[in-house]
Structure 1
Amino acid sequence: MMSNEINSDTAKMLFKEGAIFVLLDMPEGSEFGIDYNSWTTGPNFRGVKMIPPGIHYIYYSAKGEPGQSNNCGIRTGFFRNFKQREIVVRKWDRSLEDMSPEDVSQADKERVEGNLQELDQYLGAYPYENYKKWISLTSHISEELLGKLQPECGAITSVTQFLSPPSNSEMRRQSAETLAQQENTSPSDTRKKKKLPQLQKVPGTAIRFTKIPKQRYPEGATPQQITVYSMDSTFMLDSIIQSDYSKNKRGILGEIQFAFICFLIGQVFDAFDQWKKLVHLMCGSEKALNSHSDLFMDFIAMLHFQVHEIPEDFFVDIVSANNFLTTTLQEFFSNLEAGNGDIKLRERGLKFRDHLTRKFKWDFTTEPDDYAPVIVDS
C-alpha cells in the first residue's frame, strides 16, 4: 500500500503550484479547519499554504471576545474550488464576529502578495497525509454543483438561522386576525392553536438541496401501476436525474457526497437527513439497477469510503436509529440478488455486502422487522 505521507518532490510541487488561503485577524483560540484537519489558532496564525488544487471545505468556530461567552460550538464553513497557485485572502470582521463573506479588495490582496515571503512563516502547511482520503469523499463534487447547492449567502452553518419572531403585539394581533379569516375561526381560537412562534429561516442561509419527489408514480397511473411503482423508487430517482442532473447523472452522487461532508465535518443535521433520504432512494430503486448500472457501480464505491469514515460514536446512532443503514442496504443487496443490474454490478455489490458483514458484523440475511409477517392474535 502506498504511503500517504508527503515526500520531498510532492512537497516542492505543492509549495510551487499549491494554493494559499490567508485569513487575517482571526481571534486567537478559535478553531480553523480545512477538509479533515483543524487547529486551534495561535497569535501568529495567518492561514494555510500548499493546498492541492481542487475542491476543499474551509470551516471555523470563532472564540468570543474577552468577557463574552465562548461561541465555538457554532461551526461555519464553505466549499471552494482552489485553482493552481491561487492566493485567496479573507479578513475577520470584528463587527460581524465572522469571516468576511468576500475576498479582500484587489489592493489589499496585492499588499499581501507583496509581503508573502514574510507571511510564509505564519502559514500552516496543508496536511497532505489526509488528502487521498479527502479525494475519495469528494470525487463527484464539481464547481458547478457547489454553485447549485451552497446557500446563497455562501456560508454553511451548523445551527439553522431563524428570523427573530415579531415582538410588536399589534403585529401578532393582525396575524391572528388574518389567520382567523383564513380558517373561519375567532382570533382567540387561532392564538391558542398558534402558541409556538412560527419560525422562518433567514433567507439565503439554507443549503439548496434537491427536493425529493413525494409522488412515487407518474400522473394517470392506474391503481395496479401505483402499487408497482410504490414498491420501487426508480420513478423518483429518474425524476430527480431528469430535472436536476440531466447533463450529468453522477451529480446526484456529488450531492450525496456534499451532504455527507456537511454533516460529518460541517455538523449540519439537515445535511444528515438529506444524505439518508438520497441513500435510501438509491438503494430502493430496483429497476434503475438495470438502466443505470454504471451509476450504481460508482454509488457502491462512494458508500464504501463513506461508511469507513463515519466516527464510531456517530456510527452507532446511524445504524441504531430505526436500523436505517443496515435495513436500507439489505434492500439494495436483495435487489441485486434478484438478478438486477449487470454481472459486474452484482459482483461488486455482493462483495461490498460481504465486506460489511466481516468488518462490522452486520447481518443482511435476517428479515427486517418492517418486512416480517404480522401475527394477529385470534
Structure 2
Amino acid sequence: MDPATQTHCVLLLDLPPSALGGIDLLSFTTTPRFRGVKNLPPGLHFVFASSDMSLSVRHGAWFYVSPGGGAPQVFIKKWSPATEELVDETSQTSVMRWKANLGQIWKDALTPYRQTVPSGTSEEDDAAEESADWSSLTSRINATLLSRICGLNPDHWSLSSSSSAAQDLERIPGLDSSNSIINPEKELKFLPIDLKRTWREGATGRERTDAAQDRSWALGELVDHHCQGSNLRMREFEILGELQFCFLMVLTLNNSSCLEQWKRLLGLLLTSRQAIRERSQLYLQLLKTLSLQLTHCASMEASMFDMHEAGGGFLKPLLRRFKKNLDEFDGKWKSDIEEEFEELQEFLQQEFNWELDDSYVKRGMLELEDGERVEMDMNGADEDDETGEYAPTVVELSASQMKELRRSDVRQGGGARAAEEDEEDADLDDMDTRY
C-alpha cells in the first residue's frame, strides 16, 4: 500500500462473530473479515462493542485524532475474551506488527468512516443510518473533561454500560464491593450535584427557601469550585461538555448513571432563575445543545429519555418552568435566548405534541359520539395552577398543639441522647468481655 494513501484508522481486533460494533453515532453487526475503520476525520471519536446485539454490557473508549499533517495515526483496540471488554493494545511489538501489515487489511477489512449509510450500500449487516451531527454533539467535550470523568488514560478513556458514579450505585448492606470476584466497574467522576440541597452551609429560613426555588447559588458553586477551565466561560462550558458526554453515553452504551447525571444537570440548569440573566451565553449554548440532543432521542432504545411519557416525563415541567422564569425578565439581552427557545418549542410541539406555554385549554367539556358531554382536564393541570390537592394550605396551630409540638421535640432530643448513652454502654460491655 502506498503510504501516501494511508489515513487515520482505528483497529477493532478479536471481536466475537456477529458482535455489535460502533463508532460515534453508527452501530453495526460485524462480519468475520471486519478489522476496523479507516479515513477517520480529526477530532474526538468513540468506539464501542459488545459480544452480541442483545442487551449485553457494552464497552467503549474515547480517543483523539490530531489535526494537521504528519504520519497517519493508528489506534488499536482489542476484545478481551477473558473479561469480555474492549481494551487498549499495550504491547509495542503487536502495535508495530499491525502497523507494518496495514496494507494487507486496508482494502477489504477496514470500512471507511461515515455517519450515514445509504440504502443498499452497507458493508455490515444491520447498519443503522445516523446523522452527521457528531462534531456538534461533542463540541464541548475535551481531554481534560474525559480524564476527570474516566481517568487519566489518553486515547483510551474507557467505560461500559455498567460504569457508574458513586451516588448512583446500589449499595447492598454487608457486601464489600472490593471483595467481589467480578472485575469492579470503573467509577465515573461526575460534577457533584445534589438537587435536594442547593443552599450554602449555614443557610436558614428564607434563604433556604429562595435557594430551593432558584438554584443559581448551587450552579455558581459548581462553576467556581468544581469546574477546571482556565476562565469563567470555559468553566461554564465544562458543564455543557459533561451534559454532552452523558447524553452520548446513554445513546451508545445505555449507561443509566449517565442518564441520571444528564437529568441532574438539566434539573440544575433549567431551575436557576437568576443565572439566566447572569450567564446568558451559557443558556444560549445550552438550548442549542439540548435542541440537537432531543432530535436524536428517537434513536434511544427503550425510551430511556421518557420523551413519549404522559406529561413529558421529567423534562417538560423543567422547560415550562424555564420559560416562565425567562418571561419574567425584560431587556434586549434575552432576545437570542428567546429565539432559540422558540425553535426548541416548535420542534417539541411537532415531534412530541408538547405545549410549553399556557395558551391552551386545560379543562373543558368534551362531547362524545353519542352526544354525552363529559368534563376533561389535562394531566398535571392542578399542579400547574396550584389547585386541588396541590393548592397551598395555611395551618394554624392552637396553643395546646404548639405546646405538644415543643414537648415532642424535647422527647425526640432526649430519646436520641438516651440512645447514644445506651450505645456507649454496650461498647464498654463488649470491651469488658474481650479484655
Give TM-score scaled by structure 2 length.
0.67
What is the identity, as a one-letter code, of the residue corresponding to 1:308? T
Q: Distance in 1 between matches of 2:132 and 2:54?
A: 32
Aligned counterpart, 1:215: 197
What is the identity, as a one-letter code, of the residue corresponding to 2:9? I
Contact 1:62 1:72 in 2 (8 A): no
When residues 160 and 368 of structure 1 are mapped into structure 2, their CA distance, relative to the original with a 3 A threshold, is farther
Check if 1:241 corresponds to 2:217: no
Q: Please state how far the C-alpha of 1:244 moved relative to its aligned partner.
A: 2.2
Task: Report SS of the residue matched to 2:291.
Answer: helix
Aligned counterpart, 2:11: 22
Contact 1:91 1:104 in 2 (8 A): no
Aligned counterpart, 1:158: 161
Check if 1:43 corresponds to 2:32: yes
Q: Distance in 1 between matches of 2:111 and 2:307?
A: 34
Check if 1:115 corresponds to 2:119: no
Task: Report SS of the residue matched to 2:88.
Answer: coil
Contact 2:197 2:212 in 1 (8 A): no
When residues 29 and 240 of structure 1 are mapped into structure 2, their CA distance, relative to the original with a 3 A threshold, is same
What is the identity, as a one-letter code, of the residue corresponding to 1:140? R
Contact 1:336 1:349 in 2 (8 A): no
Q: Please state how far the C-alpha of 1:61 moved relative to its aligned partner.
A: 0.6
Task: Report SS of the residue matched to 1:251.
Answer: helix
Check if 1:343 corresponds to 2:335: yes
The CA deviation string for residues 189-212 of structure 1, in whole angstroms up to 9 with x for no partner, is xxxxx9965464865612211110
- Could you tell me which runs of 5 or more consecutive residues in structure 1 were left unpaired when the two chains were aligned: 1-14, 64-69, 162-193
Most deviating of 254-263 and 318-327: 318-327
Aligned counterpart, 2:58: 75
| 2:355 paired residue among 355, 360, 363 | 363
Contact 2:163 2:185 in 1 (8 A): no
Q: Please state how far the C-alpha of 1:278 moved relative to its aligned partner.
A: 0.5
Aligned counterpart, 1:149: 149
Q: How does 1:213-292 map to 2 (within 5 A)?
A: 213=194, 214-245=196-227, 247=229, 248=234, 249-292=236-279
Aligned counterpart, 1:330: 320
When residues 156 and 336 of structure 1 are mapped into structure 2, their CA distance, relative to the original with a 3 A threshold, is same
Aligned counterpart, 2:386: 373
Contact 1:18 1:53 in 2 (8 A): no
Q: Please state how far the C-alpha of 1:86 moved relative to its aligned partner.
A: 1.2
What is the identity, as a one-letter code, of the residue corresponding to 2:11? V
Aligned counterpart, 2:376: none
Q: Distance in 1 between matches of 2:113 and 2:209?
A: 53
Give TM-score scaled by structure 1 length.
0.77
The CA deviation string for residues 122-178 of structure 1, in whole angstroms up to 9 with x for no partner, is 1111114357311121111111111111257853222358xxxxxxxxxxxxxxxxx
Q: Distance in 2 between matches of 1:279 and 1:105?
A: 42
Q: Distance in 2 between matches of 1:216 and 1:55?
A: 34
Q: Distance in 2 between matches of 1:33 and 1:94?
A: 18
Aligned counterpart, 1:105: 91
Q: Distance in 1 between matches of 2:172 and 2:242?
A: 37
Most deviating of 203-212 and 51-60: 203-212
Task: Report SS of the residue matched to 2:132.
Answer: helix
When residues 344 and 316 of structure 1 are mapped into structure 2, their CA distance, relative to the original with a 3 A threshold, is closer
Runs of 4+ in 1 over 6 A off after TM superposition: none
Q: Please state how far the C-alpha of 1:290 moved relative to its aligned partner.
A: 0.9
Contact 1:90 1:104 in 2 (8 A): no
Q: Distance in 1 between matches of 2:315 and 2:176?
A: 31
Task: Report SS of the residue matched to 1:33.
Answer: strand
Task: Report SS of the residue matched to 1:271.
Answer: helix
Q: Distance in 2 between matches of 1:58 and 1:321?
A: 34
- Could you tell me which runs of 5 or more consecutive residues in structure 2 were left unpaired when the two chains were aligned: 117-129, 165-170, 359-379, 394-435
Most deviating of 104-113 and 33-42: 104-113
When residues 275 and 114 of structure 1 are mapped into structure 2, their CA distance, relative to the original with a 3 A threshold, is same
Contact 1:283 1:329 in 2 (8 A): yes
Q: Please state how far the C-alpha of 1:46 moved relative to its aligned partner.
A: 0.9
Q: Distance in 1 between matches of 2:58 and 2:193?
A: 27
What is the identity, as a one-letter code, of the residue corresponding to 2:103? Q
Check if 1:134 corresponds to 2:137: no
Two-structure CA RMSD over aligned residues (Å): 3.1
The CA deviation string for residues 320-378 of structure 1, in whole angstroms up to 9 with x for no partner, is 27631111111111111111663322332234323422443211124754343243699
The CA deviation string for residues 266-300 of structure 1, in whole angstroms up to 9 with x for no partner, is 11111111101111111101101111101111001
Percent identity, aligned pairs only, is: 26
When residues 338 and 71 of structure 1 are mapped into structure 2, their CA distance, relative to the original with a 3 A threshold, is closer
Larger radius of gyration: 2
Q: Please state how far the C-alpha of 1:77 moved relative to its aligned partner.
A: 1.1
Aligned counterpart, 2:371: none
